[in-house]
């Protein structure tokens, strides 16, 4: 039988439904201040809010977030205008610096 991330967390903290940032830091191996910052920015568990002025991280949500880190995210889909703006970085109609102006003048002969 394969153990899931949620099973491992429940073995570390039996009977617990929610964890504190210090306990989350222990699970994921990061400093507690970094965990609090990630919770505040919503990068660890998107949408999680403080409950009564304290962070209470549900074990199920933490396990899902950890499992999500293991999966590679799909590459971003660029719009046509984004592709055009990054595909051809030209310097048309922009002044060149003095050291590039001499090189540009030689290549235009």
Ordered by start, the domain boundaries in the chain are 5-70
> In whole angstroms, how large is the CA radius of gyration of the chain?
25
**What count of Cα atoms within 13 Å lies in the side-chain half-sphere of residue 47?**
4
Q: What is the CATH number of domain 5-70?
A: 1.10.10
Please tell me whether the overall predicted TM-score, pTM, comes out greater than 0.85 for this model: no
- What digits encode the pLDDT tens for the residues 70-89? 666 677 787 776 665 554 55
Q: What is the pLDDT of residue 18?
A: 94
pLDDT of residue 9: 93
CB 18 within 8 A of CB 10: no
Q: What is the mean pLDDT of each run of 10 residues along the chain (109 residues)?
A: 87 94 93 94 91 93 85 73 56 60 67
What's residue 87's pLDDT? 46
């Amino acid at each position: 039988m394969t153990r899931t991330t949620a099973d491992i967390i429940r073995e570390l903290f039996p009977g617990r439904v929610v964890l504190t940032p210090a306990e989350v830091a222990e699970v994921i191996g990061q400093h507690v201040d970094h965990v609090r910052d990630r919770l505040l920015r919503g990068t660890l568990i998107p949408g999680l809010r403080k409950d009564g002025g304290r962070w209470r991280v549900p074990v199920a949500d933490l396990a899902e977030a950890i499992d999500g880190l293991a999966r590679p995210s799909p590459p971003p889909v660029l719009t046509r205008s984004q592709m055009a703006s990054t595909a051809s970085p030209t310097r048309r109609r922009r002044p060149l610096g003095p050291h590039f102006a001499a090189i540009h003048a030689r290549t235009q002969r």
